Amino acid sequence: MQSGRATPLYGLDIETDTTIDGLDPAIGRILAVAVVNADEAVGTTEATEPVEVFDDADEVELLDRLDRSLAALPPGVLITWNGGRFDLPYLATRAERHGLRLGLRLRLDPSLSGRHEPLPGHEGAYRASWHHHHHLDAYRLYQADVGPALRLPCSLKVVASLAGLAPVEVDASKVHELTPAQIATYVRSDARCTAVLARRRWATAQFAVDRT
């Protein structure tokens, strides 16, 4: 793994349809996915890729465009927040239901315990890679030290707020009531916060990148 600014970091976050159950990939479709370049998120001049939101009404088109976009990005690290347990297996399940092959590869790791229940249809958390990108679950990174040290739950909003990032806040159980523009703003904010939180700790965070 390259160190410092030589490694592109891409924050990734998804939003799901909460009309019935946005926590079950057998029920709720994916409404939007955001991919954010970490350097662009912190306003450096080294950013070469823009923020991109995939929110096609056709979920197959959304997943296909996401996959093709990731394949075209320079090799780097995808950063998620609890993505090894939620976002990535959710994406994999939705793609499988459509018979769509992605460049996403998941490896179940029983050692990745946590307070969250496994995603329905899955047994636990995963290590991952996507095309030529590695993966880092930033939630696990902060949950291992910041959470115990400050005695707080390591939800993205809590950690991002403490870091001064001003995340967009909505009722996560009512995402389906938001307009497409509001969903795009929300998912972009979460992906940005995830990317920035990883970038700030990259000197040590790089050693926690998944090895698949």
Q: Which fold has domain 4-208?
A: Nucleotidyltransferase; domain 5 (3.30.420)
What share of the chain in percent tops pLDDT 90? Answer: 75
d(CA 3, CA 13): 24
pLDDT digits (tens, 9 = 90+) for 98-153: 999 999 999 999 988 767 788 999 999 999 999 999 999 999 999 888 766 677 77
Section 17-27 average pLDDT? 93
Out of 10-14, 21-25, 68-72, least confident range:
21-25
pLDDT of residue 12: 98
pLDDT of residue 169: 93
Residue 73 vs residues 76, 85, 90, 125: alpha-carbon distances, Å: 8, 24, 22, 25
Helix (H, G, I), strand (E, B) or coil at 130: strand
pLDDT band at 41 (very low <50, low <70, confident <90, very high): low
* Closest C-alpha among 27, 11, 16, 13 to residue 172: 16
- CB contact set of 195 (below 8 Å; sequence gap of 6+): 9, 10, 11, 36, 37, 38, 41, 79
Residue boundaries of the structural domains of the chain:
4-208
Residue 158 vs residues 62, 107, 115, 172: alpha-carbon distances, Å: 29, 29, 16, 14
Section 39-65 average pLDDT? 76
Kind and range of the H or E run holding 147: helix 138-150
pTM above 0.95, yes or no: no
Q: With contact defined as beta carbons under 8 Å apart, do 195 and 37 qualify?
A: yes
